Every structure is written in C-alpha cells, then in structure tokens.
C-alpha cells in the first residue's frame, strides 16, 4: 500500500511587491491583508473578459473531497467548516475539477498523501477527456512545497518510478484539458469555438506560485481564450478545472450560497493572520 506523505511544507516568504504592500498599509485596503496572508487577489481584464485571480504559495493550498465520515463535501460552506474543524483558517475557497453526479470524481485525487481516487487514462466524452489532460500536484521539496502541473501520462510514468519509494504527493487532482504546457497552448483548443461559459482553472507562475483564475460574474470565455489568459499571467503550465458553474468565495464567513461540486480547493492561513475583505 502506498504510504502517506508526512508533515506539511513550510511557506515561502511573501513575494508581494513592496510598493503594493506599503500602499495597502497606508490606505488600509484589503491588499495589506493579502500581504500578511502571503497571497494576492486581483481583478484582471484580458481580451474584453473580466476575471478574478488569486496567487498563493503552494504551502497554503488545500485540496478537499470528503468529510471525516467519508461523505463528499459538495459545497464550499462544508469545505470551509471542515477546514475550521481542523484548526485552519480559509482565506479563499474555489470549486475544483471535473466531476460526475453526486460528487464522484472522474480522475485522480490525492489528499494528505493518500490516493482516494485513481488516475484515469481512458477515453471518453467531455472536456476531461480532451487530450492531453493533466494533474495538478503539490509535493514536499526540500524545506518547502512545490506545485507542478503534468500531463496525466507524465504523472503515470512518474508514479511507476515512485512506487518503490512508497510516497505520493501531498495533494494531487486530475482534470482536463491541459490549457498550457511548457509555455505552449494545447493545440487541440479551437480559437473559433462558440462554447463560451463561466470557467475556472489553475496554473503555476514563474515564481512557483499557484494561480487560480475564474471568470467574473456574467462573463464567459472559450477554452482557447482561457488558455491565453494563463499565458498572459506568466504561466508555463495551466489546467482547466470546470465550466458552467464554477464558484469562488473570498473571506468565507457566515452563510455561503454554493452549487454542488466534487473536489474543492482552498487557500489557508494561520488563525492569527488577517482575512481578505469581499466575497464572490
């Protein structure tokens, strides 16, 4: 049996520009709270489409699927509650990858070093099966955490090598399609596609930070345009998460109106750190 990875990675030092941090401190804006939490939130407009973008240290990222009794969480509110029961303070919660009815997952899901759903290299219909699809993962790397996005076939090859060492990543999630691979857009994405909808995705920027991006309320984009967004954000690798009903909540306090999802991502901070004003 594959063993669980032990421990949590330490956070990297914040990489927020000094001028932004000073401005936020002087004005009392939410950016100052972002600086203390080692993550940033920004509104981006690219090719006439508005997005909300969160950048976070890999050590602050959490991936969730089920509660303590093995039941799919489904909603952002239940994910928030689970994190708080664990003594963690969620600063942002966002829906995860493609899923099926009742919150069952189509592909790989690794949580706290334990594989809860296996890698899917099969063929089928829908965005998940547009090849190549991919795996987002966070693993221990020296004194900290490293986030990576690999194609599913590369992850499969890596796993075969790693099985002798009986260690999985801390977190891993499979979705699809890949949007950007080693700085190049997925050639199977159609720039003329009329399939425009709400979308969210995940990428890794040049500094190794995890980037979550979601279309702003009322906006829509096709997969090709969404891939171009991640390129503009400095991502060499990016993965599509879901479409039609993606949702993100900042500073998740009180009652949360939520669709039902499969996996769910969060960015967390120590309990003594500030929260970010606003929600979605």
CB distance 82 to 72 below 8 Å: no
pLDDT score of 2 more than 50? no
Largest CA distance in the chain: 54
Residues 6+ apart with CB under 8 A from 10: 59, 143, 144, 145
User: What pLDDT is stored for residue 277 in this prediction?
Assistant: 40
Q: What angle do CA 107, 257, 79 make, to 5 degrees?
A: 45
pLDDT digit string, tens, across residues 210-227: 999 999 999 999 999 999
Give the DSSP H or E segment for 114. strand 114-117
Tell me the three state secondary structure of residue 81.
helix
pLDDT score of 72 more than 70? yes
pLDDT digit string, tens, across residues 180-210: 999 999 999 999 999 999 999 999 999 999 9
Residue 274: Cβ-neighbour burial (10 angstroms; 0-12, 13-18, 19+): middle
Residues 6+ apart with CB under 8 A from 60: 11, 37, 38, 39, 91, 267, 268, 269
Residue percentage of the chain with pLDDT more than 70 = 81
In angstroms, the CA 113 to CA 237 distance is 23
Higher-scoring residue by pLDDT: 76, 271 = 76
Q: Residue for token digits 């669980």?
A: 4
Average pLDDT for 47-62? 97
Average pLDDT for 150-171? 86
Please state, as a whole number, how many other Cβ atoms lie within 10 Å of the Cβ of residue 22.
13
* pTM for the whole structure: 0.85
User: What pLDDT is stored for residue 141 in this prediction?
Assistant: 85
CB distance 77 to 256 below 8 Å: yes
pLDDT digit string, tens, across residues 14-43: 444 444 444 344 434 344 344 444 789 999
């Amino acid at each position: 049996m594959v063993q669980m990875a032990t421990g949590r990675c330490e956070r990297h030092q914040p990489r927020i520009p000094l001028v932004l941090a000073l401005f936020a401190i002087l004005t009392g804006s939410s950016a100052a709270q972002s600086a203390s939490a080692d993550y940033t939130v920004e509104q981006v407009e690219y090719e006439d489409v508005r997005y909300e973008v969160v950048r976070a240290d890999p050590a602050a990222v959490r991936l969730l699927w089920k509660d303590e009794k093995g039941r799919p969480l489904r909603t952002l509110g239940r994910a928030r509650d689970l994190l708080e029961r664990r003594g963690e303070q969620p600063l942002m919660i966002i829906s995860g990858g493609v899923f099926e009815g009742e919150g069952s997952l189509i592909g790989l899901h690794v949580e706290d070093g334990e594989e809860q759903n296996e890698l899917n290299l099969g063929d089928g219909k829908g965005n998940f099966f547009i090849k190549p699809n991919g795996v987002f993962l966070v693993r221990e790397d020296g004194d900290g955490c490293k986030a990576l996005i690999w194609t599913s076939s590369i992850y499969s090859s890596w796993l075969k090598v790693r099985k002798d060492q009986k260690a999985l990543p801390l977190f891993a999630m499979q979705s699809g399609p890949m949007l950007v691979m080693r700085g190049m857009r997925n050639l199977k994405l159609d720039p003329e596609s009329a399939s425009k909808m709400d979308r969210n995705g995940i990428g890794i920027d040049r500094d190794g930070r995890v980037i979550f991006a979601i279309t702003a309320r009322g906006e829509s984009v096709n997969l090709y345009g969404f891939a171009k967004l991640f390129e503009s954000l400095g991502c060499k690798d990016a993965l599509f998460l879901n479409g039609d009903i993606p949702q993100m909540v900042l500073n998740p306090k009180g009652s949360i109106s939520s669709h039902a999802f499969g996996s769910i991502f969060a960015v967390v901070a120590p309990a003594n750190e500030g929260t970010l004003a606003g929600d979605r």
